[in-house]
Structure 1
Amino acid sequence: METRRRTLIKAVFWNLLGLTVMSLVGFAATGSFAVGGAMALVNTLIGFVMYIGYERFWAGVAWGRA
Structure 2
Amino acid sequence: METHRRSILKAASYRLFATSLVFGIAFVYTGQFGSAAKIGISAAVAKTALYYFWERLWDNIGWGRKEQ
TM-score past 0.5 threshold: yes
Shift in Å at residue 19 of structure 1? Answer: 1.3
The percentage of aligned residue pairs carrying the same residue is 29
Q: Which runs of 4+ in 1 moved over 2 A?
A: none
TM-score, length basis structure 1: 0.95
Paired residue secondary structure (1:22): helix
Amino acid of the structure 1 residue aligned with 2:44: T
Paired residue secondary structure (1:63): coil
RMSD (Å) for aligned C-alpha atoms: 0.7
Q: Which residue of 1 aligns with 2:37?
A: 37
1:7-63 deviations in Å (ceiling 9; x for gaps): 000011001111111111110010001001101111111100100000000011111
**Residue-pair matches, total:** 66
Q: Which residue of 1 aligns with 2:57?
A: 57
TM-score, length basis structure 2: 0.92
Shift in Å at residue 2 of structure 1? Answer: 1.0
Unaligned stretches of 5+ residues in structure 2? none
Q: Which residue of 2 aligns with 1:26?
A: 26
